[in-house]
């Protein structure tokens, strides 16, 4: 036991004394970037069942493809079949040494021709010379091209790019450089190579396409990016678009000049047109009538409509604080009324909880009764989950009979409400009347918690399943050991917000009582039960970051603020490999330029080098298309599995296959799909069906937060 304690102290001391190097002042990120967009073209009538087999782009800007029987050309966004006369001479015979199957040619200056063949890489120089076999040897003398070479291309400065089942080789000035999964290559079942502008290289594979820009590798797989995963041919046009001949048709990927503000406006428009539910504008996901088809929207409630609406609304508050533009005020006001209604709708009906209680969500009574069959299902759930509550109605009716409202409200709902209300009070509520409306909402909710042992009391006279914040549970009940740190953080942040908004010192006194009498200040120092990067309950992370942001912003205790700032730093360090812009900006707002004085010395709390670039990479990388298309990554070469203790759920012991890239980071957002920041980013495969449209809040909240704190340049 003493050995283990000494080890823990040693590791903590190393972190406190050394830590990573501090970073310099943060440059303001520019608005402009290139947004990646998939271009989908309808397949023409008469196309062979197997799809396209080859695509070519000529110097005149024409894009043509063949299915092996006829040639087609892309004209004004359509694929049109060419006449026989037009197509004559297009399918030129491949050049290569006799007796060998040529898979791809590349032609360069001074008559150089390269041939990727079933029997290695061959070259012919000067136009009329003979073919010579090219040895692709590494420093150990191994010839990577001893077998089949699957593709070859020359880039604009004459570098050779050679694709083999063992990886990729690049020849620069007669020296070879090699790329495998260890260098970040995602996949190597190649079908061809094409080079583009600025040294960009595209590789077709049997399971998607791969891009290399000279620094980073990218994997484009699945219907979000391609009409079919079997990429038989790849070519790049003079505009820089990459075209793919696939078993599912012809498609392209282009990168359009865009600003982050324009991207935000795109998501805002989709939220207004498709996402917002009920006249109050609750914001979550919606169903689609057919994959990717927004012409028919199916609305439904979610358990966390209050949380998602609060996070969306908080983003609008930060946007208004940064820009002062009226559309952001209007959206923030709508979000406030939506959250306020979740408090009002619970009162006055036949099953009313104590005043101040907030519902999870609402649904109109015209929809089917959600209580039918629910009690039986709840009783079955209790057999494996002793915290699960079996009672009825779980969905009471409102006093006016117009709404069902969902009870058993969770702690994550409250985290969202308080996060929003603080931002709304500070940044949007400009008049005395507006500010008093916020005070009333926060006062009633917080007084409810104080009156019920820091818990949310439901209409059945019992606390809700997760909204329990009192010391008898968190400190004395072993069943609550996992939630001790996070729920202590939550209630202290609620009380700090309540004192700030209402001006009533009783909330600060209640917080001091929890800190001095029940150890809540120390509880916050260990807010997550975890065993390293990627472990623990991932869904709690966004809750913790909202609460830390508010607690450090509003607490009046300077001593504990400095300690909690270090706890926030330690939490952020655990999450740093996730490249999460919300986490990075929320922590940087409190950590930049700060130090922590501790028994081991002084520690700089600046976020580690790269935090700003990684946050921007994620914001820029988000696909415009928020449909839940499937993604498959578990077959990739560039994965490093999490260790068993990191991949295990400490509460259940369940282990799942989870991994990151060889860089130590999670997969980029372009290569996975998630609706909210509570999704496990170490997952590899995503089984969407294209029938759900997610909100753009995952982009909007961190973008507007970064804008507000000056991490991103304001739009012109």
Q: What CATH number corresponds to the domain at position 577?
A: 1.50.10
In the 8-state DSSP scheme, what is residue 304?
A: T
CB 472 within 8 A of CB 532: no
Closest CA to 583 of 568, 594, 593: 568
**Which of 213, 244, 259 lies at the terminal end of a domain, its last residue?**
259
My answer on whether 400 and 463 are in the same domain is yes
Residue keyed to tokens 């940064």: 322
Other Cβ atoms closer than 10 A to 418: 27
Residue 639 lies in a domain: yes
Closest CA to 707 of 311, 261, 283: 261
Residue 12 lies in a domain: no
Q: What are phi and psi of 629, to 5 degrees?
A: -70, 150
Question: What span, in angstroms and rounded, lies between the C-alpha atoms of 258 and 625?
Answer: 15
Residue 284 lies in a domain: no
Give the CATH number of the domain where residue 210 resides.
2.130.10.10
My answer on whether 546 and 625 are in the same domain is yes
Residue 22 lies in a domain: no
pLDDT value at position 9? 39
pLDDT value at position 599? 85
400 SS3 class: coil
Residue 285 lies in a domain: no
Q: How many domains does the chain fold into?
A: 2
My answer on whether 243 and 311 are in the same domain is no
Copy the structure tokens of residue 358. Answer: 């907030």
Peptide bond just before 393 cis, omega within 30 deg: yes
Q: Can you say whether the dihedral through the CA atoms of 705, 708, 709, 713 is positive or negative? A: positive
My answer on whether 526 and 675 are in the same domain is yes
Copy the structure tokens of residue 55. Answer: 């695509």
**Which of 259, 284, 315 lies at the terminal end of a domain, its last residue?**
259
My answer on whether 201 and 304 are in the same domain is no
CB 73 within 8 A of CB 266: no
Residue 15 lies in a domain: no
My answer on whether 254 and 305 are in the same domain is no
Length of the chain counted residue by residue? 716
Q: What pairs with residue 195 in β-bridges?
A: 201
My answer on whether 367 and 245 are in the same domain is no
My answer on whether 250 and 341 are in the same domain is no
My answer on whether 518 and 656 are in the same domain is yes
CB 424 within 8 A of CB 438: yes
Q: How far apart are the first and last CA of the chain?
A: 60
Residue 283 lies in a domain: no
Domain that holds residue 397: 297-708
**Helices vs. strands in the chain: H and E counts, helices first:** 18, 31
My answer on whether 362 and 453 are in the same domain is yes
576 SS3 class: helix
Residue 6 lies in a domain: no
pLDDT value at position 653? 61
User: Strand (E) positions, 15-166?
Assistant: 32-40, 54-57, 63-66, 71-75, 78-81, 102-107, 113-117, 120-124, 132-134, 149-154, 160-164
Q: Is beta strand 639-641 parallel, antiparallel or unpaired with respect to 217-220? A: unpaired
**Which of 259, 288, 310 lies at the terminal end of a domain, its last residue?**
259
pLDDT value at position 651? 57
pLDDT value at position 92? 57
Q: Is beta strand 160-164 parallel, antiparallel or unpaired with respect to 293-298? A: unpaired
Q: Which positions of the chain have pLDDT values less than 50?
A: 1-24
My answer on whether 240 and 327 are in the same domain is no
Read off the pLDDT of residues 424-470 as tens digits, 9 standing for 90 and up.
999 999 999 999 999 999 999 999 999 999 999 999 999 999 999 99
In the 8-state DSSP scheme, what is residue 698?
A: H
My answer on whether 124 and 41 are in the same domain is yes
Q: What are phi and psi of 221, to 5 degrees?
A: -140, 150
pLDDT value at position 189? 98
Question: What span, in angstroms and rounded, lies between the C-alpha atoms of 92 and 161?
Answer: 22
């Amino acid at each position: 036991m003493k050995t283990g304690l000494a080890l823990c102290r040693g590791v903590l001391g190393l972190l406190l004394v050394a830590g990573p190097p501090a970073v310099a002042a943060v440059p303001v990120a520019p608005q402009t970037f290139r947004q990646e967009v998939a271009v989908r073209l309808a397949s023409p009538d008469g196309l062979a069942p197997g799809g396209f087999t080859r695509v070519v782009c000529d110097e005149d800007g024409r894009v043509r493809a063949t299915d092996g029987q006829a040639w087609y050309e892309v004209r004004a966004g359509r694929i049109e079949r060419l006449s026989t006369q037009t197509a004559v001479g297009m399918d030129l015979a491949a050049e290569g040494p006799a007796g060998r199957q040529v898979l791809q040619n590349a032609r360069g200056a001074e008559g150089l021709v390269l041939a990727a063949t079933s029997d290695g890489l061959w070259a012919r120089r000067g136009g009329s010379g003979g073919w010579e076999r090219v040895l692709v040897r590494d420093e150990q003398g191994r010839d990577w091209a001893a077998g089949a070479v699957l593709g070859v291309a020359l880039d604009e400065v004459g570098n050779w790019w050679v694709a083999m089942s063992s990886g990729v080789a690049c020849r620069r000035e007669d020296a070879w450089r090699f790329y495998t999964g260890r260098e970040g290559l995602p996949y190597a079942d190649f079908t061809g190579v094409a080079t583009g502008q600025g040294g960009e290289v595209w590789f077709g594979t049997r399971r998607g396409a791969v891009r290399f820009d000279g620094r980073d590798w990218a994997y484009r797989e699945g219907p979000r990016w391609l009409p079919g995963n079997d990429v038989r041919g790849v070519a790049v046009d003079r505009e820089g678009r990459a075209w793919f001949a696939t078993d599912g048709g012809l498609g392209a990927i282009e990168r359009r000049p865009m600003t982050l503000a324009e991207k935000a406006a795109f998501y805002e428009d989709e939220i207004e047109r498709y996402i917002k539910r009920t006249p109050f504008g609750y914001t979550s996901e919606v169903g689609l009538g057919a994959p990717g088809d927004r012409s028919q929207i199916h609305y439904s409630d979610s358990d966390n409509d209050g949380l998602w609406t609060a996070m969306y609304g908080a983003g609008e508050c930060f946007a208004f604080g940064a820009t002062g533009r009226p559309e952001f005020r209007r959206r923030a006001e709508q979000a406030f009324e939506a959250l306020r209604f979740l408090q009002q709708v619970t009162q006055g009906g036949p099953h009313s909880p104590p005043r101040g209680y907030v519902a999870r969500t609402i649904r109109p009574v015209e929809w089917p009764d959600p209580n039918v069959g629910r009690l039986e299902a709840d009783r079955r759930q209790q057999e494996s989950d002793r915290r699960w509550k079996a009672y009825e109605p779980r969905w009471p009716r409102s006093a006016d009979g117009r709404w069902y409202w969902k009870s058993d409200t969770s702690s994550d709902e409250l985290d969202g409400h308080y996060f929003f209300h603080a931002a709304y009070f500070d940044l949007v509520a400009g008049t005395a009347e507006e500010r008093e409306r916020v005070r009333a909402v926060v006062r009633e909710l917080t007084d409810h918690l104080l009156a019920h042992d820091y818990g949310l009391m439901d209409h059945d006279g019992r606390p809700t399943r997760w909204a329990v914040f009192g010391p008898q549970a968190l400190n004395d009940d072993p069943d609550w050991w996992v939630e001790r740190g996070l729920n202590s953080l939550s209630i202290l942040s609620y009380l700090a917000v309540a004192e700030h908004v209402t001006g009533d010192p009783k909330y600060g006194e209640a917080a001091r009582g929890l800190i001095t009498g029940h150890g809540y200040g120390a509880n916050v120092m260990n807010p997550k039960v975890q065993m390293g990067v990627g472990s623990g309950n991932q869904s709690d992370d966004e809750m913790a970051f909202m609460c830390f942001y508010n607690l450090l912003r509003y607490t009046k205790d300077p001593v504990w603020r400095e300690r909690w700032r270090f706890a926030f730093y330690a939490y952020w360090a655990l999450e740093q490999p996730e490249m999460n812009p919300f986490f990075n900006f929320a922590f940087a707002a409190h950590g930049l330029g700060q130090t922590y004085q501790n028994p081991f010395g002084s520690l700089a709390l600046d976020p580690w080098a790269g935090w700003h670039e990684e946050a921007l990479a994620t914001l820029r990388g988000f696909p415009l298309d928020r449909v839940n298309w499937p993604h498959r990554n578990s077959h990739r070469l560039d994965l490093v599995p999490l260790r068993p203790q990191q991949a295990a759920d400490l509460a259940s012991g369940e282990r799942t296959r989870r991994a990151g890239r060889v860089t130590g980071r999670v997969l980029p957002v372009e290569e996975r799909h998630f609706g909210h920041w509570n999704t496990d980013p170490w997952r590899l495969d995503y089984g969407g069906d294209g029938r759900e449209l997610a909100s753009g809040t995952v982009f909007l909240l961190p973008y507007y937060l970064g804008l507000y704190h000056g991490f991103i340049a304001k739009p012109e």
